[in-house]
Amino acid sequence: MYQVRIADSYTGERIVIHDFRAEELVLIEPTLEMELDYSGSFMFGMHNFHPHFSKMQVLKTIVEVAFNDEVVWQGRILSTHDDFINFRKFKCEGILAALNDTIQPQREMHDISVRDFINTIIQYHNSNSHWKFNIGRVDSDKKLYRFTNHENTMECFRNKLLNRKVGHLMVDYSVSGPPTIKFVNRGNERPDQFIMFGENLLDCAKEIDGSEFFTQIIPLGSNLENPTIKVLGERVSVKSVNGGSEIVRGPNPLGLSPITKVVIWENVTVPSTLLKRAQDYLNNAVPNIRVEIKAIDAGLIYDFIQPLRVGDIVKATSKVHDLEQEFMVTKLEIPLDEPQQTNITLGMSLANSLSHILANGGKE
């Protein structure tokens, strides 16, 4: 059973505002959207005769959604809209959006671990905001070379970690303290969960997007002080460590005609480092495969199964759709008043995508 509570961001006092067991505590069309690497949103309507109508304050009131008393999402009220009869619609943003509130100072970080990088920017955020975060599990052991330059903290995560495929950003919530940020390569294995044709699968659509796919790149580093063609300028290249070629080729399991992309690493000054960056980048180059499924969460059917959460790894099986694969849950759209109508979006991890393509001879 889903329940919605509010809490004052300063005092922490919690009040139930939605529970179907109490007739006076019902929100209108409460819809929760959770998405991997994003803050998510929660939208609902409230009549002005709701007993806690006056307690809802933009950017101050914490809103949390719980299932069987476990908090599955926290956020804050972002905006409201009142109609002629004072029926109010609320839009809430996930707690990660608070990372947009703080601006990181200029700094340069050499050979820093992913954990230390996250710790640096989160500590600065925490010292400048009352929306605080703890840091939990960090899977990546990569060493980074990064700048921060007056970006907000969420932009630092997105541009310097997420967009570079270093890992996935997840959050664990608590009623007794700040939420905990996790940065993981792979979500929680869910052998108890399943999505199966003839059981709980209601609809299925599969999309393969090759618009951003490439098979080889021309990696470029920082600007050279004395370029060959002064008008055009020149950057560090890999020619000296790549057999005289500026092109670095990646795996091409589909046997495609070469698709070339220029990738610039502004801060790289050493050709061998640039080559290593290019090779790592190419190893993550696979077509984007997304499966959108409408299914009844098995956790809503069986009491002994926990509901799905964003980031969970679940197996989907449907011979009709030529589907038998482990997926990561990348998005959940849950109408709290009709949770059986949940939309589940699944995406393959990069490694699974490539192995799946190879196993099918390049066909889907």
Q: How confident is the model at residue 68 (pLDDT cuts 50, 70, 90)?
A: confident
Stated as kind and residue range, the H or E segment containing 119 is helix 114-127
The average pLDDT across 84-109 equals 95
Asked whether the beta carbons of 94 and 39 are under 8 A apart, the reply is yes
Q: Which residue has the higher pLDDT, 10 or 177?
A: 177
Quote the pLDDT of residue 251. 79
Asked whether the beta carbons of 114 and 183 are under 8 A apart, the reply is yes
On the 0-12 / 13-18 / 19+ scale of CB atoms within 10 A, 230 is exposed
Q: How confident is the model at residue 345 (pLDDT cuts 50, 70, 90)?
A: confident
Asked whether the beta carbons of 184 and 37 are under 8 A apart, the reply is no
Whose CA is closest to 314, among 337, 286, 283, 291?
A: 291
CA 338/CA 322 separation, integer angstroms:
29
Quote the pLDDT of residue 358. 37
Query: In this structure, how many other beta carbons lie within 10 angstroms of the beta carbon of residue 31?
Result: 16
Residue the block writes with tokens 């759709």 = 321
Residue 278 has pLDDT above 60, yes or no: yes
Whose CA is closest to 37, among 354, 347, 357?
A: 347
- Chain mean position to CA 54: 33
CA 5/CA 62 separation, integer angstroms:
8
Q: Which residue has the higher pLDDT, 251 or 52?
A: 52
**DSSP string over 270-312:** -HHHHHHHHHHHHHT---EEEEEEEE--HHHH-TTSPPP-TT-
Q: What is the pLDDT of residues 165-175, one digit of tens each?
A: 788 999 999 88
CA 41/CA 36 separation, integer angstroms:
12
Quote the pLDDT of residue 256. 79
**Angle (nearest 5°) at CA 314 between 313 and 317:** 150
Residue 95 has pLDDT above 90, yes or no: yes
Q: Which domains does the chain possess?
A: 2-95 (2.30.300.10), 101-184 (3.55.50), 195-210+287-359 (2.30.300.10), 216-283 (no CATH)
Say which range, 78-92, 249-263, 288-302, has the weakest mean pLDDT.
288-302
Own/partner pairs, 254-259, CB within 8 angstroms, 24+ separation: 254/357, 254/362, 255/362, 256/215, 258/215, 258/216, 259/213, 259/214, 259/215, 259/216
State the amino acid at position 87 in one-letter form.
Answer: F
The average pLDDT across 296-315 equals 83
Quote the pLDDT of residue 156. 94
The average pLDDT across 178-198 equals 85
CA 247/CA 211 separation, integer angstroms:
20
**Angle (nearest 5°) at CA 39 between 33 and 40:** 10
